[in-house]
Amino acid sequence: MQKIRFFSFLLIAFTFISHSHTLAQELLPSDPDPNRFSSEINAFKAWDSKNTAPDEAILFVGSSSFRMWKTADAFPNYTVINRAFGGAHLTDLAFFYGQIIQPYQPSWILIYIGDNDIASGVNGDLFLKRYKEFTSRIWHDYPSVRIGFIAIKPSSSRWDYWPEMSRVNEIIKAKNEMDPRHFYFDLGRLLLNKDGKPDDSLFLSDLLHLNDDGYARWTQELTRLLSEL
């Protein structure tokens, strides 16, 4: 009996360690410390402690392109939860998985991530590996949820990184075609001018974040895509 209990303990411990390792997404010394977002995450937790999260909502997770999008106003015909935080990397989403995804029962999880990762030196292959691990974790917990990846956007401030960002987009687009639960939404193309470069009139002065006109384009297109699905 003692041996059985001992091996049961080892199994539980191994499962916990493996789970934690997955959430940490194999952090590298160059990866930023996720705890820099403690205040933002605590704000989410405080809201959740006082409110009942609606089921079957569209859950937005990611970085500032989602955080700055007034999603509740943009999609009045949908139930929306926005758990994005500015400056986020994919490792941050994984680290805070228990706070930004697990409390909810969404029908959709929309993800905008990768902009900061690639710009900070994470190569596309590592990002894609982490993305596959992250989405696999989601489907383990939510087998029927639909995941929509919003393509990494082109911007003048990060145009030097666009070849690698574009490559990541194309590979995730191909992943979409292999899994009926995965959707690829290319809203980035709406931000290009006739010369195939970012239209700066759709961005704030930092030439990185969208202004109201840029978000209006995103809202119109995503509304159309969601209504078709």
pLDDT in tens, 202-221: 999 999 999 999 999 999 99
Q: Is the confidence at residue 17, as pLDDT, over 60?
A: no
What is the per-residue pLDDT across 192-206, written as a single tens digit (0 to 9) for each? 999 999 999 999 999
What is the model's pLDDT at position 21? 41
Q: What's the CATH code, domain 38-228?
A: 3.40.50.1110
Instruction: Please tell me the distance from the alpha carbon of residue 114 to that of residue 167, in angstroms, as a whole number.
Output: 12
What is the model's pLDDT at position 12? 36
Domain residues of the chain, as ranges? 38-228
What is the model's pLDDT at position 26? 67
pTM: 0.87
Mean pLDDT of 183-199: 97
Burial class (CB in 10 A: 0-12, 13-18, 19+), 227: exposed
Instruction: Please tell me the distance from the alpha carbon of residue 130 to that of residue 127, in angstroms, as a whole number.
Output: 5
